[in-house]
Structure 1
């Protein structure tokens, strides 16, 4: 049987990036793996993942949860480094 660890290992995103998408979409991490794999192969999909993380950073700041905003910002930096195609205006 395939486990969540197996799914995450086969995904093009890190576990932290998967968790950020799961948080944003209010879905399980297993469902987030499927979502991000779909998005990463869709035109404009990498930008959509970037937007999800940015929206959650904004929400954390509005909720005065600076620690969570910082953690998400670190995830965003790693994502943008690994996936430069996610820069808005590219593609």
Structure 2
């Protein structure tokens, strides 16, 4: 049986990034790892992940959670470096 760590290691994203997607989608982290792995296989999916992470930052700021927004910004910066958006044709 696969553990949560196995699933996180399988996905090409950091645990903080996957946790942020889980928060955005209101799903368990293990389900988010599967979702992230699937979305990473298409340009549209990568765009969706970028949007979700940016939504989390905006939501934190709307709720006055500045420190959380800063944490999410650092997480997004790492994701952006690891999975840059492809230029639109």
User: Is TM-score (shorter-chain normalized) higher than 0.5?
Assistant: yes
Q: How does 1:1-91 map to 2 (within 5 A)?
A: 1-84=1-84, 86=85, 89-90=87-88
- C-alpha offsets along residues 7-62 of structure 1, whole Å, 9 cap, x if unaligned? 10111111011000000000000100111111111241111101001001000000
- Secondary structure of the equivalent of 1:67? helix
Separation in 1, partners of 2:11, 2:33: 7
Count of paired positions: 89
Separation in 1, partners of 2:34, 2:83: 18
Separation in 2, partners of 1:42, 1:33: 16
How high is the TM-score relative to the length of structure 1? Answer: 0.91
Separation in 1, partners of 2:62, 2:30: 28
How high is the TM-score relative to the length of structure 2? Answer: 0.93
Structure 2 stretches lacking a partner, 5+ long: none
Structure 1 stretches lacking a partner, 5+ long: none
Aligned-residue CA RMSD (Å) = 1.3
